[in-house]
Structure 1
Amino acid sequence: MNSSLTISPDFLLVALSDLPDLRVVLFCILLLLYLLTLTGNTIIIVASQLDERLHKPMYFFLGNLAFLDICYTSTTMPKLLQILLAKTKSITFIGCVTQLFFFLAFVGTEHVLLLVMSYDRFVAVCLPLRYTVLMKQSVCSSLAFVSWFIGLVNSTVHTTFTFRLKFCGVRKINYFFCDIPPLLSLACDDTSVNEHLLLAIGVFIGWAPFLSILISYIYIIVTIMKIRSEEGRQKAFSTCVSHLTVVILYYGSAVFNYVRPVSSYSLGKDQLISVLYSMVIPMLNPVIYTLKNQEVKDSINRQFTLRMKL
Structure 2
Amino acid sequence: MKLETIDYRAPDSAEQFVKSLRETGFGVLSNHPISQELVETIYKEWQAFFNSDEKNDYLFKPETQDGFFPASVSETAKGHKVKDIKEYYHVYPNGRIPESLRKNITTYYEHANALASELLKWVEQYSPDFVSQKYSIALEKMIENSHQTLLRILHYPPMSGDEEVGAIRAAAHEDINLLTVLPAANEPGLQVQAQDGSWLDVPSDFGNIIINIGDMLQEASGGYFPSTTHRVINPEGSDMSKSRISLPLFLHPNPDVVLSEKYTADEYLKERLRELGVI
> Normalising TM by the smaller chain, what interval?
under 0.3
Greater helix content: 1
Q: Relative contact order (alpha carbons < 8 A, sep ≥ 6): 1 or 2 greater?
A: 1
TM value normalised by structure 1 = 0.24
Larger gyration radius, structure 1 or structure 2: 1
Greater strand content: 2
